[in-house]
Amino acid sequence: MRGDRRASFVVRVVQAGPGRVSGVIERVATGAKEAFTSVESIGGVIAQMLKREPDAAGEATGPMPASSPPRPKKAMRRPT
């Protein structure tokens, strides 16, 4: 569909005991990270991160949390 944009996230989960999880969701394009403390909260965290969707100039349209600065781009490794 026109106007649709894909967003990729990495979800890192730590099982903290029976029925307890926590972790971090990272937005691949920006490196922004948000913590979560339950499986049920993952969707809400992603929804909040999407509200901070970068605009055409690459700037976030909403507030970015102070604890998750964008990560620097890594250089591509050459095959050996």
Higher pLDDT: 66 or 75? It is 75
Tell me the C-alpha distance between 22 and 73, whole Å: 27
For the ranges 23-27, 48-52, 54-58, the maximum mean pLDDT occurs at: 23-27
Burial classification of residue 61, based on how many CB atoms lie within 10 Å of its CB (0-12 exposed, 13-18 middle, 19 or more buried): exposed
> 0.95 cut: is pTM over it?
no
pLDDT tens track for 29-45 = 999 999 999 999 999 99
Q: Which of 8-22, 28-42, 59-73 has the lowest mean pLDDT?
A: 59-73
